[in-house]
Structures are given as structure tokens and as C-alpha cells.
């Protein structure tokens, strides 16, 4: 089932990097996560690439000293790196789709404005209008305000369209927010919401006055009395 609107074929092509960890027997896990971090512009995956590279370097350093440790490190890199790559694959596709959509919107030029001036045979010289009197200052037209949610959005209860309407979020990150909210049981605060989606600081400041979080429900306490034997 496709995760994005670009189709299953595009997603399989963009997910080819997840085959590098199992195909390289764990030795190139660091290269796979370095590619994913750079392509999706996600810093935690770059940190993971550095950690996997240190494991790879340790396996090379222990080759002459202890074959048992080398084999253990290689197997750990193989298993952990493969599972990690398949876990982050859906988020990689969502982030890549959002970045490509934003780049396409910025690169598409605005259509030129063509102004048609009619030819008037009864042309007369332009006479500038009289200056307004001091008692009647010109009234400037009101500047329309940017569309914003009509009421503060509860990040722990609002539907996906309401979260997508927040400035700088959009439908892709809103879908990701709902998935994280269901998996975690809600967000502790607006800052927790921004950290979970890796939002930029200026977007967080635009969202802060428009959103809030209700307290997350505590797990039910067991009823009855405990009896020790």
C-alpha cells in the first residue's frame, strides 16, 4: 500500500537504500543512513550513520586481535541496521515527498501578467486629480489578514485537517502527527509536538499562539487489594 500520493513505484525506487544494510552484511549500514539523512535533511539519521560507522571501524580494528568480537560486531550491525532501515522507511518517504513538493512550489515561476490596453481614438491628455483637502485624509484599503484557525487547535484531539491548517504544517506532516499521537498517546506540550515533527523554530513560534495540548490520560490503576502470602 502506498504511503504517499506519488505511487508505489516511486516509493519502491526511493526505498532502494534500505537494501544496502542486508546486502552488505552490515558493513555499509553507515553509508545507507548517511544517504537517507542527507536526502531527507534529517539530522538524527546522520547521527545514526556516525554511530554505525564507529561500529564498522571497531570491527576493522579488532580483525587481527579477536575474530570472535569482529564477528559479533558484524552480526549486530547486520541485524540492527537492517531492522532500523525498514522502520524509518515510511518517515523517509513522507519527508522526501514533502521536501520535493516544497522545492517544486518554490521553483515554479509565476505566470506573466499580460495587460491589454484598448486603443481610444478620442484620446485626451491625462489630467492629474486634485489633491485631497487636509480635512479629508485618504483612506487606505484594509490589508487582509492571513488565514488562521478560527479557534486554538487541541493537538491531542483535533482531526488531521485542523492540524494541517496550522501555519507551516500541511497535510503530510499532519498525517505524521496523527500517527505519532496515536502511537504515543498524545503530546505533552506544543514544544513536544514540534520536536516530534522536527519543525523549525520559526514555525514553532507561529504555531504556539494557535495550538494547545490537553493533558494525556493516565493509565487506569488496578482495582482491588493486594494480598501477600
- Is the Cβ–Cβ distance between 198 and 229 less than 8 Å? no
- The model's confidence at residue 215, banded by pLDDT at 50, 70 and 90, is confident
Distance CA 173, CA 153 (A): 15
| Of 56 and 65, the one with more pLDDT | 56
Region 75-99: mean pLDDT is 88
- Is the Cβ–Cβ distance between 63 and 51 less than 8 Å? no
> Which of 98-112, 126-140, 167-181 bottoms out in mean pLDDT, i.e. has the lowest?
126-140
Distance CA 40, CA 47 (A): 13
Q: Is 154 helix (H, G, I), strand (E, B) or coil?
A: strand
DSSP 187-216: -SSHHHHHHHHT--HHHHHHHGGGEE-PPP
- The model's confidence at residue 145, banded by pLDDT at 50, 70 and 90, is very low
- The model's confidence at residue 184, banded by pLDDT at 50, 70 and 90, is confident
| Calculated CA dihedral for residues 146, 149, 153, 158, nearest 10 degrees | -130
Q: Is 153 helix (H, G, I), strand (E, B) or coil?
A: strand
Q: Is the pTM of this model over 0.95?
A: no
User: Rounded to the nearest 5°, which phi and psi values hold at 12?
Assistant: -65, -40
Structure letter (DSSP) for residue 17 = G
- Is the Cβ–Cβ distance between 81 and 32 less than 8 Å? yes
Region 17-22: mean pLDDT is 90
Distance CA 160, CA 179 (A): 10
Residue-averaged pLDDT of the chain: 79
Distance CA 172, CA 70 (A): 42
Calculate what percentage of the chain has a pLDDT beyond 70.
72
Residue 130 confidence (pLDDT) above 70: no
Give the cell for residue 172: 503530510
Q: What is the pLDDT of residue 146?
A: 43
- Is the Cβ–Cβ distance between 58 and 73 less than 8 Å? yes
| Of 127 and 13, the one with more pLDDT | 13
Amino acid at each position: 500500500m502506498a504511503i504517499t500520493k506519488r505511487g508505489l513505484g516511486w516509493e519502491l525506487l526511493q526505498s532502494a537504500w534500505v537494501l544496502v544494510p542486508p546486502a552488505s552484511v552490515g558493513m555499509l549500514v553507515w553509508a545507507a543512513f548517511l544517504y537517507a539523512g542527507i536526502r531527507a535533511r534529517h539530522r538524527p539519521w546522520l547521527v545514526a550513520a556516525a554511530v554505525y560507522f564507529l561500529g564498522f571501524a571497531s570491527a576493522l580494528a579488532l580483525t587481527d586481535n579477536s575474530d570472535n568480537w569482529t564477528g559479533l560486531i558484524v552480526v549486530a550491525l547486520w541485524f540492527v541496521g537492517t531492522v532500523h532501515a525498514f522502520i524509518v522507511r515510511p518517515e523517509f518517504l513522507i519527508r522526501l515527498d514533502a521536501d520535493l513538493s516544497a522545492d517544486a512550489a518554490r521553483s515554479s515561476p509565476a505566470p506573466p501578467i499580460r495587460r491589454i490596453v484598448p486603443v481610444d481614438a478620442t484620446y485626451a491628455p491625462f489630467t492629474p486629480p486634485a489633491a485631497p483637502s487636509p480635512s479629508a485624509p485618504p483612506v487606505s484599503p484594509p490589508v487582509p489578514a492571513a488565514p488562521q484557525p478560527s479557534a486554538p487547535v487541541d493537538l491531542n484531539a483535533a482531526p488531521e485537517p485542523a492540524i494541517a491548517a496550522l501555519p507551516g504544517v500541511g497535510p503530510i506532516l499532519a498525517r505524521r502527527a496523527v500517527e505519532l499521537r496515536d502511537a504515543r498517546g498524545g503530546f505533552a506540550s506544543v514544544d513536544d509536538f514540534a520536536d516530534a515533527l522536527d519543525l523549525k523554530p520559526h514555525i514553532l513560534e507561529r504555531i504556539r499562539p494557535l495550538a494547545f495540548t490537553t493533558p494525556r490520560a493516565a493509565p487506569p490503576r488496578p482495582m482491588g487489594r493486594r494480598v501477600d502470602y
